[in-house]
Amino acid sequence: MSRKKLTPMEIEVMQQFWQLGATSIRDIQDSLPENRQVEYTTVQTIVYRLEKKGAVRRTRKIGNAHIFEAVWSRKSAIGSFVEDFLALFGGSAEPVMSHLVDSGKLNLEDIKMLENAVREKAKEDTK
Q: Looking at the chain, which runs of residues are DSSP E strands? A: 23-24, 56-62, 65-70
Number of helices (H), then strands (E), belonging to the chain: the values are 6, 3
**What pLDDT is recorded for position 3?**
66
**What pLDDT is recorded for position 1?**
43
Task: Read off the pTM.
Answer: 0.75
Nearest of 30, 52, 48 to residue 40 by alpha carbon: 30
**What is the chain's pLDDT, residue by residue, as a tens digit (127 residues)?**
456 788 889 999 999 999 999 999 999 999 998 888 899 999 999 999 999 999 999 999 999 999 999 999 999 888 888 888 899 999 999 999 999 999 999 999 999 999 999 999 999 998 8
Which CATH code fits 8-70? 1.10.10.10
